[in-house]
Every structure is written in C-alpha cells, then in structure tokens.
C-alpha cells in the first residue's frame, strides 16, 4: 500500500492482517480523488478533511498529499490507531481513538468541508453513522460527504428509514460510483 498522488506520492504505508481492516485499493483511491478533483475540488484543496472509520489512515493521507489543509481521523481499534500513528508520522493530524458513534462535537477541533465515511460493511452502520455525523453539527456549509459501502447495499430508501427528515433536507445525493465490489456515494451537504 502506498500514497498514489500529490506531494507524498510513493510513500509506503503499513497495514496489518486484521478481519476488521479493509484497506482502500489504489484504484479506489485514484477514482475517489479523480472524481473529487473534477467535480468537487473546492471541497479538498486548502480545506479540512475528516476520515471516519479511518483504518490505516490511507485515505486521509491521500487527501493531505493532494492539498487538504488539515486531516482528522476517527478510529476505535487500538491496533488501527497504532498503524495510523506510524503511517502519519511527521504529518500534522488529529487522531481520535474512539467509537465514532460515541463522539461529541468537542472531540473535533474544527468544522469540515469534506468527510469520508467508510464503516465496516458487515455491521451495517452507514445510515446510523451518517445521521450521527449530521447531528454533530461539525460540517461547513456547503460540504461534501463521501460514503463507501459494499456494492448495491445502500440506497436512499434505506437512508430515509434511519435518518430524520429534517436532517435529510440538507443532504442531496449527487453521484454513485461502483468500483468492483464497492460503491462510493457523493452527498452534498448544504444547510438550508
């Protein structure tokens, strides 16, 4: 695993054999950041980036390498937190080693323009995590939220069942992109 673009291009990243870890492939990261560069560049360059369920920290480091002003990562597993610390050695970041669903706004030192939300697929936490993110009130307006799920397992109907209508009024699904067995969902957040 390595950084594939920007000023840290080629930097090798550590990973671990863990059933709970599903590192993002180079192809997925390349697709993600190509879409952001072509459609949502204002949300990345010189902006605050939040990586939730950060795993190895690879996506946050990729964002920083490509111009994000700051990166904040949330990961609850101690082994993964150790990996993030090693992978982001000498790079300024905020790491919150806690269950995201138990976090409150004071954990976060700033507001965010771009969020990458990639919960474990098997636990079906995406709707609940997205609702928690919106309830924290830590997003700038407008902001971009990118979620990752297993292909064809997440849709707006599922989201409507789990998220209160008043929160959904601020969210619009702009784009879905299937990449192998994974699917990226690009939501624009704009407070009305």
Q: How many CB atoms lie within 10 A of CB 64?
A: 24
Q: What is the pLDDT of residue 166?
A: 77
Domain membership of residue 10 (yes or no) is no
Query: Looking at the domain assignment, is residue 170 inside a domain?
Result: yes
In a domain, 75, yes or no: yes
Determine the pLDDT at residue 16: 72
Structurally, how many domains does the chain consist of?
1
Instruction: Indicate whether 64 belongs to any domain.
Output: yes
Domain assignment of residue 96, yes or no: yes
Q: Which domain holds residue 84?
A: 27-189
- Which pLDDT score is estimated for 143? 97
Tens-binned pLDDT, residue by residue, of the chain (192 aa): 889 999 999 888 888 766 556 667 778 889 999 999 999 888 999 999 999 999 999 999 999 999 999 999 999 999 999 999 999 998 999 999 999 999 999 999 899 999 999 998 888 899 999 999 999 999 999 999 999 999 988 888 888 877 776 778 889 999 999 999 999 999 999 988
Q: How far apart are CA 113 and CA 155, in angstroms?
A: 23
- What pLDDT sits at residue 100? 97
Query: Considering the domain boundaries, does residue 5 fall inside one?
Result: no
Look at phi and psi of residue 24 and say left if phi exceeds 0, alpha if psi is from -120 to 50, else beta.
beta
Rounded to an integer, what is the distance from CA 188 to the centroid of its chain? Answer: 14
Q: Domain for residue 107, yes or no? A: yes
Q: Give domain status of residue 51, yes or no.
A: yes
CATH code of 151's domain: 3.40.50.150
pTM, to two decimals: 0.93
Cα separation of 103 and 129, whole Å?
11
- Given strand 112-117, what is the order of strands in its sheet? 94-96, 70-74, 48-52, 112-117, 139-150, 182-189, 171-179
């Amino acid at each position: 695993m390595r950084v594939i673009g920007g000023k840290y291009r080629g930097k090798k990243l550590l990973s671990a054999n863990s059933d709970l870890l599903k590192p993002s492939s180079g192809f997925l990261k390349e697709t993600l950041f190509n879409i952001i560069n072509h459609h949502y560049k204002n949300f990345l360059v010189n902006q605050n980036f939040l990586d939730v369920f950060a795993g190895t920290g690879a996506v946050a480091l990729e964002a920083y390498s490509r111009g994000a002003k700051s990166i904040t990562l949330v990961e609850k597993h101690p082994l993964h937190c150790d990996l993030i610390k090693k992978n982001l050695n000498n790079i300024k970041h905020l790491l919150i080693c806690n269950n995201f669903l138990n976090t409150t706004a004071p954990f976060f030192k700033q507001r965010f323009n771009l969020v990458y939300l990639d919960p474990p697929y098997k636990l079906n936490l995406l709707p609940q995590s997205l609702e928690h993110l919106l309830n924290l009130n830590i997003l700038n307006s407008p902001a971009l939220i990118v979620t990752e799920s297993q292909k064809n397992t997440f849709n707006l109907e599922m989201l409507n069942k789990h998220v209160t209508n008043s929160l959904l009024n601020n969210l619009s699904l702009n784009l879905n992109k299937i990449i192998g067995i994974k699917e990226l969902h690009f939501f624009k957040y704009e407070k009305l």
